[in-house]
Amino acid sequence: MLTEKKSEEIPLRPKKVSRFTYAAFTLGNWSHYFPYLLLIIVFVVVSLFVPYFLTLSNQVSVLIQASSLALMAIGQAVVLISGGIDLSMPGIMALGAIFGAMFMREGGSPLIAALIMLVIPVILGMINGFSVSYLNMIPFVVTLAMQAITSGAAILVTNQVSISHLPKSFTGTIMGNVMGIPVPILTVVILTIIIQLILTRSYFGRWLYATGTNIRTALVSGVPAKKVIFLAYAFSGLMAGVTAIILTARLASASPQMGKDALIMDIIAAAAVGGVSTMGGVGTAINAAVGAIIIILINNVMNMANVSYYLTLVIKGAIIIVVVAIDAVRRR
């Protein structure tokens, strides 16, 4: 480190170029627009190969599918940005969904049930957050254990039987439309916008990025890093909760299958492909949402092309490794 690098020469912004594009370029972070590029490529390729792909109904159904994954990916993104990882999202989501569904089955009001579906994952997320930030435990292990506990509990509590026959007032509302737009899609769009704003424009967002980039600098500069990390995990719990509501309504049932381990691969793949760095400090909500769409598209394509489930696994595993490796190499 004995040679000093010269400061980058960055030209003045030409009037015609919008602030957004200019910032994207000068921040030198091409991963900002790579996911969009990838999305376009995947989109084009798919539409070429699948005849009815471009129909509106198909597009909508893809987006609805992607909505649950997008919500979870956004939650995961926040945790990744803070420098951690959350492997327990499927399990806590399933547990929340199951308790809420059980409540409805016993005749409880759907509104309270939805609340239960939110609160339980949040509490579990807080346990994760507490263990990581205040007990100094390793995020990977804590959330891995939490996943085991919650997915196991889900099985225990339901005896492997899924809970269905949920009240129409619940499933109908969530799967209905508001002004012609399906509720799940609307939810994702709204949440993505809100989270994106918080991440990029609020002081909490700055604290989050600082903590994930260099926690020591953050602490010296007065950032309450421990609180930030705690909240990040609580937030991913919240996202798992929202997903629980939407997914339960979509499937019209809640089952331990919702919380199976394999789901986490899709979540991390979505975040990573979308541009969220697994090393912390980089990424946005939009990244996660776009990544989720890409992963769902890939899943669908594999499905339709009759690619074996296993080859899909291999490909997804390879994608994760490649994306993360590129990220790692770029950041050294």
Partner 1 sequence: MTVPFLRMENISKSFPGVQALKGVNFEANQGEVVALIGANGAGKSTLMNVLGGNVIPDEGKILINGKEVNIHSPLDAARHGIAFVHQEMAVLPTMSIADTMFISNFPYKNGLIDYKTINKRCIFILKRLGCNFDPGTKIRNLSPGSQQLVEIGRALLMDPKIIIFDEPTSSLTSHEKEHLFKIINSLKSEGAVIIYISHMLDEVFRICDRAIVLRNGETVGGGRISELTYDDIVKLMIGSKQIDQYYGYKQRIIGDPILKVEHMSRKGVLDNICFELKKGEVVGLWGLLGSGRTEVARALVGLDPIDTGDFYICVSDKLEKIKQSETKNYIGMITENRREEGLLLPMSVRHNMSLANLRGLTNGFLPFIQNKKEKELTQKFVDRLDIKIANQNQRVETLSGGNQQKVIIGRWLQKNPIIYIMDEPTRGLDVGAKSDIRNIINELAESGAAILLISSEIEEIMSVSDRYLVMRRGRIVKELSRDATKEELMLAAAGA
Partner 2 sequence: MKQKKNIVTNFNLHDFLFTYGFLFVIVAVIVYFAIAANNFFSITTIFSVLLNAAPLFVIASGLAFVIMTANIDISVGSIAFLSSAIGALLISRMHISIWLALVIIVLMGALMGVLNGFIVVRLKVKPMIATLGTQLAFRGIGLQLTNSMVVSLPDSLRQIGNIKFGPIYLSVVISLLVLVIVWAIHTRTSFGRQVMAIGNGVGVAEKLGVKVKWVTFGAFVFSGLMAGLGGILMTLQIGAVTPTSGTGYEFNAIAMLVIGGVSLFGGEGSILPGIFIGGITLAVIETGLNYVGASVYVYPFVRGGVIFLSMFADALKTRVKPRVKMMTDDEIVFSTVHPIEG
Within residues 145-184, the interface with partner 1 by CB under 8 A covers none
The residue type of 174 is I
Q: Which stretch binds partner 1 (CB under 8 A): 124-132, 196-204, 264-272, 289-297?
A: 196-204
Closest C-alpha to 83, from 197, 202, 217, 188: 217
What's the rounded Cα separation, in Å, for the pair 181 and 265? 29
The residue type of 227 is K
**106 part of the interface to partner 1, by CB under 8 A:** no
Closest C-alpha to 179, from 194, 189, 167, 169: 189
Under a CB-based contact definition with an 8 Å cutoff, are residues 42 and 294 in contact?
yes
Please count the other Cβ atoms lying within 10 Å of the Cβ belonging to residue 56: 7
Q: What is the DSSP letter of 15?
A: T
- Compose the 25-64 pattern: x for residues touching partner 1 by CB under 8 A, - for all others: -xxx------------------------------------
| Residue among 146 and 183 whose Cβ is closer to partner 2 | 146
From partner 1, partner 2, none, which one binds at residue 23 (CB under 5 to 8 Å depending on kind)? Answer: partner 1
Under a CB-based contact definition with an 8 Å cutoff, are residues 74 and 195 in contact?
yes
Q: How far is the CB of 276 from partner 2 (least distance, A)?
A: 12
Under a CB-based contact definition with an 8 Å cutoff, are residues 184 and 250 in contact?
yes
**18 part of the interface to partner 1, by CB under 8 A:** no
**At 182, which helix (H) or strand (E)?**
strand 181-182
Q: How far is the CB of 71 from partner 1 (least distance, A)?
A: 22
Buried b (16+ CB within 10 A) or exposed e, 255-285: bbbbbbeebbbbbbbbbbbbbbbbebbbbbb
| Residue among 84 and 281 whose Cβ is closer to partner 1 | 281
Q: How far is the CB of 5 from partner 1 (least distance, A)?
A: 6
Q: How far is the CB of 184 from partner 2 (least distance, A)?
A: 27
- Compose the 218-247 pattern: x for residues touching partner 1 by CB under 8 A, - for all others: xxxxxx------------------------
Q: How far is the CB of 138 from partner 2 (least distance, A)?
A: 6
Under a CB-based contact definition with an 8 Å cutoff, are residues 207 and 228 in contact?
yes
Q: Which stretch binds partner 1 (CB under 8 A): 92-100, 209-217, 249-257, 268-276?
A: 209-217
Which tokens hold the place of 211?
């903590």
**315 part of the interface to partner 1, by CB under 8 A:** no
| Residue among 227 and 260 whose Cβ is closer to partner 1 | 227
In the complex, the residues that contact partner 1 under the rule CB under 8 A are 2-10, 23, 26-28, 197-198, 201-204, 206-207, 209-210, 213-214, 216-223, 281-282, 331
